[in-house]
Amino acid sequence: MSSGIINTTEPQNFISKKYLFLSIGLSIATMAGVIWYTYTPGVLDHLAPKRLPGLAIAVIVSFLRIWFSASKIRFLSEKQIGWLASFRVVLAWDFTSAVSPSTIGGAPMATYAMNKEGMKLGSATAIVLYGVLLDQIWFALAIPILLIAGIFYEVVPPEIGLVGEASMLLLYAGLLSYAGVLAYGVLINPAAIKKVVLFVFKLPFLRKYRDKIGEEAENLEEYAHQMRKKPASFLFKAFFLSTMSWICRIALATIVVLSLLPADEILSLLRSLSMNLAFLVVPTPGGSGGVEGLFVLFQGPLIERKSFIGLAVFLWRIISYYISIALGMMATTWYINRSVVESKIKD
């Protein structure tokens, strides 16, 4: 399961050097290819100095995304986790997501990190599930917006063709279905989550964990019941923090584009939202290679000077991906070092 329910004293188990190098390699190769095909000599001479401060705004927005995500973690933990710990959890989560296949994600590392910050494993797992649920609710609300906006704007670029449009519709349907199932398990019938977990751990290679998992599944169900008793204001505030984090993520691509050239701001934002949903199903580690291609496909047609497309991709990935990689590596290293120290103390 991607919720990270198996406890371990080895955070490095969640990280693969192979996937790390593959993620960075695919990203660099794709960006290099885009720059190669779009670059023209003297392109930097056409940069408008008055627009360049927008890149500083993009960096600020990127850090705001991290702040809102950390605020959500701290709020859902009911302040059992401090600010610094919340930032460590989010950065480690981002880093692991960036270097893991999308089917795995960073949830196991986030669960482990919260456990090491003092949360019970079952509660940490439930917080991750609840956080994912808030994201899914946001997706479920965003999809109708995209469908309605599609009547007035070319939200899905015509360049992707009929197959691409059908794929986006299937993606929307899948996200709505997943949101419904998750909402049912977390908000309506928490016992169903426990049953699914215990069923999964009947598998031969997971059976040895079943006794421990039974106890943690009880904690998970208990936390889910506690969440159901919270007032609506609790859910709304948590949803607000989740929404603001996603708005920052979506606005980033548009801010980078506008830092280089004028563009249709509304269409760029709508396409950024659509492509961020598409990122969720890119199978490569961190979506590398695929997300750069989707940026070119969705945002490229809005960039009048085609020689700026490669520059836009490069700047966007530096701000949205490589900064997270660097900060996340520091946070994850902190957990690894702490694990090593704890192991030596036990010995």
As a whole number of angstroms, the distance between CA 148 and CA 37 comes to 35
Print the domain residue range for 33. 13-40+54-346
As a whole number of angstroms, the distance between CA 294 and CA 302 comes to 13
Q: Which amino acid is at 315?
A: L
Q: What is the pLDDT of residue 14?
A: 59
As a whole number of angstroms, the distance between CA 53 and CA 80 comes to 38
Specify if 8 maps to a domain. Answer: no
Specify if 340 maps to a domain. Answer: yes
Q: What is the pLDDT of residue 106?
A: 74
Under-70 pLDDT residues of the chain? 1-16, 101-105, 161, 163-164, 186-187, 193-194, 196-198, 200-220, 223-224, 339-347
Q: What is the pLDDT of residue 277?
A: 86
Specify if 188 maps to a domain. Answer: yes
As a whole number of angstroms, the distance between CA 345 and CA 347 comes to 5
As a whole number of angstroms, the distance between CA 253 and CA 14 comes to 29
Q: What is the pLDDT of residue 160?
A: 72
Q: What is the pLDDT of residue 9?
A: 47
Structure tokens at 264: 């249709």
Specify if 46 maps to a domain. Answer: no
Specify if 295 maps to a domain. Answer: yes
Integer CA distances (angstroms), 262 to 256, 265, 305, 318, in order? 11, 8, 10, 21
Phi, psi of 156, deg, nearest 5: -95, 120
As a whole number of angstroms, the distance between CA 99 and CA 108 comes to 13
Specify if 49 maps to a domain. Answer: no
Over the range 302-340, which residues count as b (16 or more CB within 10 Å of their CB) and which as e?
bbeeebbbbbbbbbbbbbbbebbbebbbebbebbeeebe
Specify if 2 maps to a domain. Answer: no
Closest CA to 216 of 94, 126, 305, 311: 126
Specify if 3 maps to a domain. Answer: no
In total, how many domains does the chain have?
Answer: 1
Q: pLDDT tens, 141-175?
A: 888 888 888 888 888 888 776 766 777 778 778 77
Q: What is the pLDDT of residue 271?
A: 94
Q: What is the pLDDT of residue 325?
A: 86
Return the half-sphere exposure (C-beta side, CA atoms, 13 A cut-off) of residue 247. 10
